[in-house]
């Protein structure tokens, strides 16, 4: 686990593994919450990720005690992303197909742009504004009266939770952009997942009681993949990849995650791949691309970071 910059081929290979892992994680979340309460699903995954990250950081000699100035960003990421986003998604996918869930969750960059303009005074350029409009059209397609049953209370609840999750993720991204880092983001991930695990455990016991889980080899494997591969090793891999590939490459490459998730849900869970979903996904992804690609004189905004 070296900090050396990787060759482009190696970095792309590692990046493709991360994208595949995060896409499959959506499918696994859907599978796990069918047998484990969503809040305990997120708590257990956070505990596994914390243990794995501890060993990764020790091996890389990067385990640190956070500086006082980094405490706010640890709180923001843990509460908004690792607790808020992850738990809301876990509850939402109970009622919403993985394909639609992942498209809604990946509207996050659309909300980041206007929030960055409002709170961080980042310019809302023409391409960004156009991207937001295109993305919103994609959402409208997804919820058009012909394909969406507005009388289905479970569907309304599930979609609402996923949208709220996207807003939590956007809030986390905005704070991360504004934060003045002392330690590196990867050095703080262990503390974020640990704090999230503590919060989720307390919430779990206080809201739904002790977890009642029937452990099977399949369930153990699913949790280990989600916690170790989908969280701990994926964060390490992205920290390495970001040193070796241009920001535009990783920003646009992350848009393959919804495609992997939708393909996985279709092949594994037998979810239908409707024309409405494909159209909505295409429009949302196009909107993100419009606001992500590098234009002269502006920085790249990475979706999902």
Enumerate helices (H) and strands (E) in the chain, giving the number of each: 14, 0
| The predicted structure's pLDDT at residue 227 | 95
In angstroms, the CA 55 to CA 65 distance is 15
Provide the residue-wise pLDDT of the chain in tens; the chain has 305 residues. 444 567 888 889 999 999 999 999 999 999 999 999 999 999 999 999 999 999 999 999 999 999 999 999 999 999 999 999 999 999 999 999 999 999 999 999 899 989 999 999 888 888 889 999 999 999 999 888 777 777 889 999 999 999 999 999 999 999 998 999 999 999 999 999 999 999 999 999 999 999 999 999 999 999 999 999 998 989 888 878 877 887 777 878 888 999 999 999 999 999 988 999 999 999 999 999 887 776 554 444 444 43
| The predicted structure's pLDDT at residue 218 | 96
> What are the tokens at 219?
């369930």
Cβ atoms of 124 and 268 closer than 8 Å: no
| The predicted structure's pLDDT at residue 296 | 52
Q: Where are the domains of the chain?
A: 8-292
| The predicted structure's pLDDT at residue 303 | 42
| The predicted structure's pLDDT at residue 2 | 45
> What are the tokens at 279?
């159209």
Residue 276: name the closest of 148, 106, 101, 94 by CA: 148
| The predicted structure's pLDDT at residue 301 | 42
| The predicted structure's pLDDT at residue 5 | 64
In angstroms, the CA 42 to CA 91 distance is 10
Cβ atoms of 161 and 92 closer than 8 Å: yes
Q: Please name the helix (run of DSSP H) or strand (run of DSSP E) that holds residue 163, with its range, or none.
A: helix 153-178
Cβ atoms of 174 and 116 closer than 8 Å: yes
């Amino acid at each position: 686990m070296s900090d050396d910059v990787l060759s482009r081929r190696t970095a792309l290979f590692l990046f493709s593994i991360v994208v595949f892992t995060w896409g499959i994680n959506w499918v696994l979340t859907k599978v796990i919450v069918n047998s484990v309460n969503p809040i305990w699903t997120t708590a257990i995954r956070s505990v596994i990720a914390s243990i794995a990250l501890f060993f990764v950081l020790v091996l890389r000699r990067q385990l640190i005690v956070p500086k006082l100035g980094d405490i706010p960003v640890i709180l923001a990421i843990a509460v908004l992303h690792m607790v808020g986003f992850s738990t809301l998604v876990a509850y939402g996918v109970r009622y919403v197909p993985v394909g639609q869930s992942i498209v809604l969750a990946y509207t996050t960059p659309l909300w980041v742009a206007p929030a960055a303009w409002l709170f961080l005074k980042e310019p809302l350029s023409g391409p960004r504004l156009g991207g937001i409009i295109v993305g919103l059209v994609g959402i409208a397609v997804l919820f058009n009266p012909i394909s969406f049953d507005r009388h289905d209370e479970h569907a309304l609840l599930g979609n609402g939770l996923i949208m709220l999750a996207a807003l939590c993720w956007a809030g986390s991204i905005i704070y991360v952009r504004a934060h003045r880092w002392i330690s590196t983001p990867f050095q703080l991930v262990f503390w974020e997942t640990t704090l999230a695990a503590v919060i989720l455990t307390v919430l779990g016991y206080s809201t739904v009681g002790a977890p009642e889980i029937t452990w099977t080899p399949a369930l153990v494997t699913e949790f280990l993949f989600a916690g170790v591969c989908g969280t701990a090793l994926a964060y390490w891999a992205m920290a390495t990849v970001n040193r070796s590939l241009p920001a535009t490459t990783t920003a646009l490459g992350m848009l393959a995650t919804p495609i992997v998730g939708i393909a996985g849900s279709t092949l594994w869970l037998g979810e239908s791949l409707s024309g409405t979903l494909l159209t909505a996904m295409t429009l949302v992804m196009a909107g993100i691309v419009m606001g992500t690609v590098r234009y002269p004189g502006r920085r790249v905004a990475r979706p999902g970071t």
